[in-house]
């Protein structure tokens, strides 16, 4: 009996990275938006280490043999963000001034801003994720600098929007690839899935 042919094409890691980012961002943003108290943070940290951090970093590593500089940089960086966030909350939360935390968030916003600029030739769905994310970081940084609960809450709601957009693109990548046609549009009719190839 002949064995089945071995598939030699590389799987698209973007849906995994996007989902890890989206789920963890959604959980944290529910706290920032005021839906839940800080008592829920433990589950966010567990998810940050396992899914937002580790799974997203794996997706970034998977982008390397595909030659996707953008995907590798994005997924490895945001995977590292979730690890650094979890370590900060676990060990340093009461030892770092709020103003310095604001700079931490602001600089992640700077990184996200120039990554957003790099998406301008990519599907609109990807552009919207990075647009919403750098605004989220800006609002959260402003909340730390001003001590304003309203600004932090606005950052939480913007984070929820960011997560929803990332979930959508993750779903579109999987569903469109399985069906071989556009079921969930991503803002470019020529892109079925594997959007990162065009970056």
pLDDT tens for residues 24-54?
999 999 999 999 999 999 999 999 999 999 9
Whether residue 136 is contained in a domain is answered as: yes
- Cα 155 to Cα 48: distance, rounded to the nearest angstrom: 18
pLDDT tens for residues 61-71?
999 999 999 99
Whether residue 193 is contained in a domain is answered as: no
Whether residue 126 is contained in a domain is answered as: yes
Whether residue 183 is contained in a domain is answered as: no
- Cα 197 to Cα 199: distance, rounded to the nearest angstrom: 6
Whether residue 6 is contained in a domain is answered as: no
Percent of the chain past pLDDT 90, that is, above it, reads: 82
Whether residue 62 is contained in a domain is answered as: yes
Question: What's the pLDDT at 7?
Answer: 57
Question: What's the pLDDT at 185?
Answer: 87
- Cα 25 to Cα 3: distance, rounded to the nearest angstrom: 43
Q: DSSP assignment, residue 3?
A: P
Buried residues in 51-73 as b, exposed as e (16+ CB within 10 A): bbbebbbbbbebbeebebebbbe
| Domain span at 54 | 14-175
Task: pLDDT band for 127, please (50, 70, 90 cuts).
Answer: very high
Whether residue 105 is contained in a domain is answered as: yes
Chain centroid to Cα 186, Å, comes to 17
**Number of domains within the chain:** 1
Task: pLDDT band for 194, please (50, 70, 90 cuts).
Answer: very low
Question: What's the pLDDT at 120?
Answer: 94
Task: pLDDT band for 1, please (50, 70, 90 cuts).
Answer: low
Q: Are 13 and 58 in contact (CB under 8 A)?
A: yes
Task: Write the secondary structure of 70-113 as one string of H (helix), E (strand) and C (coil).
Answer: HHHHHHHHHHHHHHHHHHHHHHHCCCCCHHHHHHHHHHHHHHHH
Whether residue 3 is contained in a domain is answered as: no
């Amino acid at each position: 009996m002949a064995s089945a042919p071995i598939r030699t094409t590389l799987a698209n890691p973007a849906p995994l990275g996007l989902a890890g980012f989206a789920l963890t961002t959604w959980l944290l943003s529910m706290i920032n938006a005021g839906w839940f108290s800080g008592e829920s943070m433990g589950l966010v940290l567990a998810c940050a280490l396992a899914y937002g951090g580790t799974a997203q970093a794996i997706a970034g590593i998977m982008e390397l043999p595909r030659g996707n500089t953008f995907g590798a940089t994005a997924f490895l960086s945001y995977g590292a963000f979730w690890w650094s966030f979890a370590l900060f909350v676990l060990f340093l939360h009461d030892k770092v001034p709020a103003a310095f935390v604001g700079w931490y968030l602001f600089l992640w916003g700077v990184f996200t801003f120039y990554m957003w600029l790099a998406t301008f030739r990519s599907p609109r769905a990807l552009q919207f994720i990075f647009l919403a994310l750098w605004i989220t970081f800006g609002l959260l940084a402003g909340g730390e600098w001003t001590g304003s609960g309203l600004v932090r809450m606005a950052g939480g709601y913007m984070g929820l929007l960011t997560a929803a957009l990332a979930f959508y693109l993750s779903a579109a990548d999987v569903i469109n690839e399985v069906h071989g046609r556009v079921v969930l549009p991503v803002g470019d009719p020529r892109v079925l899935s594997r959007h990162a190839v065009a970056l």
